Chain A
Amino acid sequence: MNDLIERLAICLERGKVNRSSPHPPDLKDQDGADELTRQALDDGISAETVLADGLIVGMTRVGKKYSEGKAFVPDLLMAAKAMKAAMAHLKPYFESGQTHHRGTFVIGTVEGDLHDIGKNLVAMMLEGGGYKVIDLGVNVPAAKFVQTVQENPGCSVGLSALLTTTMVNMEKIIKAIHEVSPATPILVGGAPLTDDFARRINATAYAPDPQGALDYLSAATS
């Protein structure tokens, strides 16, 4: 069993989606996250174990490599695809209540900004980390964030911006959310941001990369 779970973790780390996917070249014609997850469940391994000891472990490894510059955007996106393939098998267990999410994370790129790659990476890293992710897309106005927060009590929020000209919109969104829900943790991230800026606009935390967002939430909710 351990071998199977470890192989699954490697599929996540290396972005091996399924048997027929050509990436990465050295794992060609081997089972991917798709097949191995099915097999693990068929072998009677619990969905919880598959998620916690296989998928999340692999995701964390690629996230760490990303933080060190050893992995990059395409690696994370391939890992996300592998995750998605695995989650398709796990979904029935989550829905039947046999297992549960670690929390809900609402994410969006702020008003005026259309960039979504960074936001997508964070979304998939958190999904991989066991969170239910509500992705509001790009160019999201404050009212939409507020409404979603009200509909999902206890959720955390992530705000993304790539432009110097749009990151300033984060401040008013944070203000609007905290007016209706002062305790909601709000993480901010994006290329032009700094820790300093995050503090100035009263964000709960600044996440320099996707792994940073996951680490923060894990620490805050554990």
Chain B
Amino acid sequence: MIEDTVAVHFLSPHDTSVQVPRGESLGRAAALANIVLDMPCGGRGNCGKCKIRVKQGVVVRSLREHVLLSHDELMDGIHLACQTRVGEPLTVEVPHVSLLTAVYQILADAAETTCDVSDPPVRARHVTLDPPSLEDDASDVLRLERVLGSVEVDLDVLRTLPAALRHHGFVGTALMQGGRLIGFTPGTVKQTRLAAAFDIGTTTLAASLINLEDGVERARAVRLNPQTAIGDDILTRIAYASESSAHLERLHRDVVGAVCTMLGELVHAANEHIEHIVEITFAGNTTMQHLLLGVDPASIGVSPFVPAVSEQLSVSASKLGLPAHPKAQCYVYPVISAYVGGDTVAGLLATNFEELESPSLFMDIGTNGELAVHAKGKLIATSCAAGPAFEGAGITHGLRAAAGAIEAVHIEQDVMFKTIDGAAALGICGSALIDVVAELLRLGILLPSGELLNAEDAPCTLPDAVRQHIRRHRDQTIFVIADAHDTATGQSIAVYQNDIRQVQLATAAVRSAVTLLLKEAGIEAHELRRVLVAGAFGNYIRCANAQRMGLLPIGVKPDRITFVGNTSLAGARLTATSLRARRLAQEIAQRTDHLDLSLDPAFQDIYVDALFFPTTNDASEVAQA
């Protein structure tokens, strides 16, 4: 078969060429060239982030490009890679901002936890056996059992055992996985045992390497989840995986491949051997755990939203194709429901959530928000679809938290902002979006209904310098944060009326979920003694602003709110070194009641109420609380 292919020549980020079938999208061509574009909408032409400049060759302009690109960009030969079909040979370049690696700053700080190694999944037992004699002719295995108790030996280990025992006069170290002998090292040299713990996030993979001898962390690794090339949100991936077994296989291989690379990075950083990794644990949302295992997540995506498996699992690393000790096992966290996954169970375990003064609330704010409340001896969890607005997707000048992203905004006599790493401004990230909304509400430029006032309608008390930031663009009111001469893009960076709508939707999802969860638990927000905010996002937001605009519950004293970082990784670490932690995790998963918000008849009313930002009166409770 002769395939009709066309060449696409990329000048940047590196000079490379690929052949693609005629009619293939430029986005796919980039993927084939190993160029990872920022494509939060998954190539549906909704977000306008995958900008590519066509230098040579002709392509057809799509309608979406006229909607999503500015006049200057259209004139400059900028196209959306996902919307552009390759019909003839092209020469293109990829602007730096369109690269996922460029806009991404990986945040993987796990809450500090001490790893308990008193009951590890794999033990090293140093043994000194009496050598066999005519008087004592017991078999090698029986001889071992005299010291170790009943032992189960796999055939491949048995084949190497006699030689290993005799190599150093029946002295050595037995590697025991429960009652199973998984290796025998002759001599008195200490056998290194390592465990790797993974947080399998939708966007980020984070890992930690721990010494099972003393519980000390030896290395960390972080990496983007390569599946982001298919789309940022879980549902896009479920839809993709459901299309064919080849697609499911691809997503499975993507994540397993990344895990393999990270295992290599961990042992390299710690100067160890990969065969010394005897245990690997994973915590992730329910869908990611399915994809890691190569299990079809289709049923998670449609009502009645059921996962294939919710119990904790133990599978051999070799079966998953992971490089490690040949007998290493992988532990996968139990989940609570289709959308309250192992990452939440890990978070509840790592923060000792049930031991905290109650009533208490656990919040993990991400594209999918997970919430749990502990009150009156009950543990209830729920989830909500906050969408990716706080990660910058769907926001006109939105960016993930990366160098050049505006991360903080403060308005006094004028508008002040700060970028990550102090770099020239490229866009605005979630924490700054929260600041802007809170500040605009405080100044009365933004009404609780979410309407951004025109400059002439804004309160008369507003300083003129601030008023000048309120402008119009394409039928929308916008609030300019950084003027064109202050940015790296040469274009002003602003928050648009429609961006505020996205923030309203995201905030309302979280807020209504908290309201219903507290209602189910029979408590009021002001009764909460502790609020834990997990996830990398939390560390960078300003509590008072997040309360002012309604994302964090109003009425809770700020000193009761704690940002706890990546608790999913912290939980994965605990179960990597302790079987007791696994029993606790299983108990948490079983004991937690799941609240399905969609079944609550009050949901729509509460959600719609939550679409209004808190009024000045509501907000004054923040100050009083």
Contacts and interface: CB of A to CB of B under 8 A. Distances in A.
B450 A72 contact: yes
B612 A112 contact: no
Which are the 4 A-B pairs with shortest beta-carbon distances?
Answer: A165-B301, A112-B302, A69-B497, A164-B235
Contacts of A114: 303, 598
B476 A68 contact: yes
Nearest to A168: B239
Given A117-B607, A165-B301, 13 more contacts: A68-B476, A69-B498, A69-B500, A70-B451, A70-B497, A72-B451, A74-B608, A113-B302, A114-B598, A165-B238, A165-B239, A194-B45, A196-B45
A116 B599 CA distance: 12
Interface string A158-186: 00000111101100000000000000000
A163 B301 contact: yes
Contacts of A165: 235, 238-239, 242, 298, 301-302
B608 A117 contact: yes
B155 interface: no
Greatest chain B CB density within 10 A among A74, A113, A116 is at: A74
B61 interface: no
B482 interface: no
Interface in B300-327: 301-303
A195 interface: yes
Contacts of A72: 449-451, 501, 504, 611
B233 interface: yes
A139 interface: yes
Contacts of B562: none
A72 B239 CA distance: 29
Contacts of A115: 598
Interface string B582-625: 00000000000000001000001001110110000000000000
Interface string A121-142: 0000000000000000001000
A26 to B, nearest CB: 12
Nearest to B83: A196
Nearest to B476: A69
A117 B498 contact: no
Interface in B497-518: 497-498, 500-501, 504
A41 interface: no
A201 interface: no
Give chain A's interface secondary structure class.
loop
Contacts of A197: 44
Contacts of A74: 449, 608-609, 611-612
A199 to B, nearest CB: 11
Interface string B228-249: 0001010110110010000000
Interface of A: 68-75, 77, 111-117, 120, 139, 163-166, 168-169, 192, 194-197
A77 B508 CA distance: 15
A194 B46 contact: yes
A73 B476 CA distance: 17
Contacts of B236: 164
A69 B238 CA distance: 31
A159 B126 CA distance: 68
Contacts of A73: 608, 611
A190 to B, nearest CB: 12
A68 B235 CA distance: 28
Contacts of A111: 302-303
B135 interface: no
A117 B604 contact: yes
A108 to B, nearest CB: 13
A111 B504 CA distance: 27
A125 to B, nearest CB: 16
B84 to A, nearest CB: 13
B501 A69 contact: yes
A68 B498 CA distance: 8
Nearest to A65: B451
Interface in B170-213: none
Nearest to B609: A74
Contacts of B303: 111-114, 139, 166
Contacts of B607: 117
Contact of A194 (B64, B231, B451): B64
A75 B46 CA distance: 25
Nearest to B448: A74
A203 to B, nearest CB: 16
A116 B608 CA distance: 12
A63 B535 CA distance: 38
A111 B303 CA distance: 8
Contacts of B238: 164-165
A52 to B, nearest CB: 27
B63 interface: yes
A68 B496 CA distance: 11
B298 to A, nearest CB: 8
Nearest to B612: A74
Contacts of B501: 69, 72
Given A69-B501, A164-B235, A77 B608 contact: yes
A117 to B, nearest CB: 6
A166 B239 CA distance: 8
B156 interface: no
B137 interface: no
A68 B302 contact: no
Nearest to B242: A165
A55 B608 CA distance: 23
Contacts of B604: 116-117, 120
Contacts of A168: 239
B449 A164 contact: no
A68 B475 contact: yes
Contacts of B233: 164
Greatest chain A CB density within 10 A among B63, B449, B612 is at: B449
B301 A192 contact: no
B125 to A, nearest CB: 49
A169 B298 CA distance: 13
B511 to A, nearest CB: 13
B393 to A, nearest CB: 12
A29 to B, nearest CB: 20
Contacts of B301: 112, 163-166
Interface in B440-456: 449-451
Contacts of B612: 74
A116 B604 CA distance: 8
Greatest chain A CB density within 10 A among B235, B498, B500, B607 is at: B235
A68 B239 CA distance: 31
B306 to A, nearest CB: 12
Contacts of A166: 301-303
Contacts of B497: 68-70
A114 B305 CA distance: 10
Interface string B470-509: 0000011000000000000000000011101100100000
Contacts of B302: 111-113, 163, 165-166, 169
20 contacts: A68-B497, A69-B497, A70-B497, A72-B451, A72-B501, A74-B449, A116-B604, A117-B604, A163-B302, A164-B42, A164-B236, A164-B239, A165-B238, A165-B298, A166-B301, A166-B303, A168-B239, A194-B46, A196-B44, A196-B45
A139 B302 CA distance: 10
B309 to A, nearest CB: 19
A201 B189 CA distance: 67
Contacts of A71: 451
A166 B305 CA distance: 11
Nearest to B597: A114
Nearest to B46: A194
A73 to B, nearest CB: 6
